[in-house]
A and B are shown apart, each in its own frame.
Chain A
Amino acid sequence: EPEVTQTPSHQVTQMGQEVILRCVPISNHLYFYWYRQILGQKVEFLVSFYNNEISEKSEIFDDQFSVERPDGSNFTLKIRSTKLEDSAMYFCASSGPTVSNQPQHFGDGTRLSIL
């Protein structure tokens, strides 16, 4: 069964450094998402992306965050200058190929630890 893959599984970064989290969505999906989960808290929506544009973003997704689909297979989340409070699990999801009621499928996440 096709799945969403995320790399790395664990990323440790110094505060203030840039970090890029990578995702390979399911191949025929057209809608892409990032969510995060701070330890012990709920899963929170960050951003959705379609047709090379952000279609919706939450208030968490400020100017320090950006997303990109650099090629036909990868979908990345960049945090420009990391803060301690960015430490969390980051989940990528994809859905499609049509929008309708297609469910989102999630990867197993990247654990980001900011020191």
Chain B
Amino acid sequence: DAKTTQPTSMDCAEGRAANLPCNHSTISGNEYVYWYRQIHSQGPQYIIHGLKNNETNEMASLIITEDRKSSTLILPHATLRDTAVYYCIVRVSREYGNKLVFGAGTILRVKS
């Protein structure tokens, strides 16, 4: 699975959009981009995923560049509860062995 690069940390003002970048320049055509977050020591929480097209759900939007070498997770109106570690993971969807490989992620601090 392709490697990802994320900034170590970011700050965002409450109520503003949080834009979290991820670089995955070695991504291959059948690899999906997944975003998870982990609030304090809770279990990782699934946010969103995509292959080529931009995706939006009730939590966030995922923008994938046309060449698929990078993506951005957008939290449209960040709240204090969005303070967490955000993980960008690239993964092939196989019939078996769909493990997730977590990196260090980006620590997002939402400030009032």
Contacts and interface: CB of A to CB of B under 8 A. Distances in A.
30 contacts: A4-B43, A37-B41, A42-B102, A42-B103, A43-B38, A43-B44, A43-B87, A43-B100, A45-B99, A45-B100, A48-B96, A48-B97, A50-B96, A55-B96, A55-B97, A58-B99, A91-B43, A93-B44, A99-B94, A100-B93, A101-B49, A101-B51, A101-B93, A104-B46, A104-B98, A104-B100, A106-B46, A108-B43, A109-B41, A109-B42
B41 A31 contact: no
A56 B45 contact: no
Contacts of B99: 33, 45, 48, 56, 58
Contacts, number: 62
Contacts of B100: 35, 43, 45, 104
A108 B96 CA distance: 24
Interface residues of B, number: 24
Contacts of A4: 43
Interface in B15-73: 32, 34, 38, 41-46, 49, 51
Contacts of B46: 103-106
Contacts of A42: 102-104
Interface of A: 4, 31, 33, 35, 37, 42-45, 48, 50, 55-56, 58, 89, 91, 93, 95, 99-101, 103-109, 111
